[in-house]
Structure 1
Amino acid sequence: MNKKETVFVVSDSIGETAELMVKAVASQFFGKEVEIKHFSYVEDIQDINNVITNAKYSPSIIAYTIALQDLKEYLDHRALEEGIMAVDLMHPLMDAFAQTFDMQPSLQPGQMRKLDENYFKRVEAIEFAVKYDDGQEVRGLKQADIVLIGVSRTSKTPLSMYLANKQFKVANVPLIPELPPPQELFQIPRKKCVGLIISPEKLNDIRRERLKSLGLTNAANYASLERIFEELDCAQNIMKKIGCPIIDVSNKAIEETADIILAMFNKRGSFAQ
């Protein structure tokens, strides 16, 4: 029985950069991900020895990002002794920086995380999007950078998450004829709100597929054109009352809709970022 190809991702930090690089390269050879085993926050010789012990019993590569020169050299030495391929993902580029820009690296572990404020902003935005998804905790709408409104299956949630990955705090609220919209929608600046609409036919197809995936009948009221027309009419009336811009997402990918929203908000100067 052949042993599975394995890449040991070794880092003096969390190792997410090394993992992304490994996955990108592996996709060119296997068409799928190889098995990846993590050794994060490696900080001494014993940690390196643990990596070597695990790696030498299978066809494997060690891909590493280690800033400390002594630790890096020890890993290279031990890997060579055991006949294991070890690939330094960081120092060649670091050397290029030093030579080209006439600078010296700090050689301190975890520097990227310390400096990358964008990472923490993105995490905060994603947590916000989850908390205020689908009309939950409407009191938080005033804290949002963007508020998306629309009927069910107009891509509010995936669009919220996409924008959150770009560091924007996004809340979304479903519009349902039987439920009055939250008053908070009328209390926030209308420039923060975006209405999402879709053609009745497109929405009918999407909802029918959704019901099929759930094993439910297509005859359910949720997917009927009569119900869809009622919902869309109600939603557009609310959007007009709010006075927010409206985007037709019928034939748009999430990325395309997001680009429209960001261009619109940036033009208005609505973002403090």
Structure 2
Amino acid sequence: MAERIHLHLISDSTGETLESVARASLARFEEVEAVKHFWPLVRSTGHLDRVLEDVAEHPGLVVFTLATGEIRNRLEAGCEALGIPAVSAIDPVVAGLSIMLGKAATARPGRQHRLDEAYFARVEAINYTMAHDDGQGSENWNEADILLLGVSRTSKTPTSIYLANKGFKTANYPLVPERKPPPILFELTKPFIVGLTTTPHRLIEVRRNRLLSLAQTPETDYVDEEKIKREVAEARRLFADRGWPVIDVTRKAIEETAAAVMRLMNREEASQT
């Protein structure tokens, strides 16, 4: 039986940081079922009092990112009175930066989410990525930051969208047997091109599940083992011939694949400086 706990995530901003911290931390514990109580945009004592009522009703760990002293102090005092632990998610990092920079941090709720140039760049990246999914708009590929290549069902689209949310204009193109890629692919100068691959066995599983979800017969060339082996081999040969880096997505989550793409791109940029 999984152990069940309540986890209260309290933020004076959107709470995205807390979501990431909670997800990464919970992954370190097996057989734990967390009931998340999500409280974003907590910027008044009245709102906080309602949060504390829920904390009292469902005791559990409190994790917070609160910049305003009054609300933070009230939360910590309330949790102490209830005998419930309260942990700041970013205090150690802020303290370290304060020491390194020799200055105190400012207390501005939601500052990291202000509508600055980075925000609008992210919106532009998302719009570009959605318009250049699955080989669309190849004439504009030189505007991309990243171009993902791979056979069908190698997580190109979800990885592209994840990268777009990080601010990277990402296009992707499916490699299809007996169909040559557009000539422009071999003339590109800007985008960082990465090949995505997986094992034939895993590809068969994913494609079968895809066909079943669409109420289609799973007995087609799309899932033929020998043809899939050739398909994967041809894609790998193309990547090797062009010197494009390759990421095996067989056992990777989308976040891990995107992180690997960004690491490779940073390494490439560093080598050119």
Structure 2 counterpart SS, 1:8: strand
Return the alpha-carbon distance in structure 2 between the equivalents of residues 18 and 86 of structure 1: 13
In structure 2, give the amino acid aligned to 1:16.
E
Aligned-pair CA distance for 1:244:
4.9
Match of 2:52 in 1: 52
Q: Shift of residue 263 of structure 1?
A: 6.9
- Aligned equivalents of 2:204, 2:242: Cα separation in 1: 29
Aligned mates of 1:265, 1:144 — CA distance in 2: 16
Identify the residue that residue 212 of structure 1 maps to in structure 2: 208
Judged with a 3 Å threshold, the aligned counterparts in structure 2 of structure 1 residues 140 and 75 are, in CA distance, closer, same or farther, namely same
AA in 1 matched with 2:129:
A
Deviation at 1:229? Answer: 8.5
**Match in the other structure for 1:173:** 173
Query: Paired residue for 1:86?
Result: 86
**Count, aligned residues:** 262
- Which whole-Å deviations, capped at 9, do the CAs of 1:40-77 have from their partners, x for residues lacking one? 11111101111011111122232222111112122223
Structure 1 residues 224-235: aligned runs within 5 Å: 224=224
2:265 equivalent among 241, 262, 267: 262
1:193, 1:245 within 8 Å by CA — same for their partners in 2?
no
Summarize the Cα distance change of 1:182–1:103 in structure 2 as closer, same or farther, 3 Å threshold: same
Computing the radius of gyration over CA atoms, which structure comes out larger, 1 or 2?
1
Q: Would the alpha carbon gap of residues 175 and 90 (structure 1) be closer, same or farther in structure 2, given more than 3 Å must change?
A: closer
Report Cα offsets for 1:148-206 as digits up to 9, x if no partner.
445434554465456556643221222446767556546644x647484979xx54x45
Tell me the amino acid that sits aligned with residue 265 of structure 2: L
Alpha carbons of structure 1 residues 252 and 263: separation in structure 2 relative to 1, 3 Å: farther
Does the aligned pair in 2 maintain the 1:146–1:193 contact within 8 Å? yes
Distance in 2 separating the partners of 1:61 and 1:195: 41
**Larger mean Cα displacement after TM superposition, 118-127 or 163-172:** 118-127
SS at match of 1:9: strand
Secondary structure of the residue that 2:142 maps to in structure 1? helix
User: Measured at CA, do residues 30 and 127 of structure 1 come closer, stay the same or move farther in structure 2, by a change above 3 Å?
Assistant: farther
RMSD: 4.6
Distance (whole Å) between structure 2 residues aligned to residue 105 and residue 259 of structure 1: 29
Instruction: Give TM-score scaled by structure 1 length.
Output: 0.67
The letter of the residue matching 1:18 is L
Q: Give the Å deviation of 1:24.
A: 4.0
SS in 1 for 2:57: coil
The residue type paired with residue 208 of structure 2 is K
With 6-15 and 179-188 compared, the bigger mean Cα shift is at 179-188
Aligned residue in 2 for 1:147: 147
For residues 90 and 197 of structure 1, the distance between their equivalents in structure 2, rounded to whole angstroms, comes to 34
In the superposition, the TM-score normalised over structure 2's length comes to 0.67
Structure 2 residues not aligned, in runs of 5+: none
Give the counterpart letter for 1:266 in structure 2: E
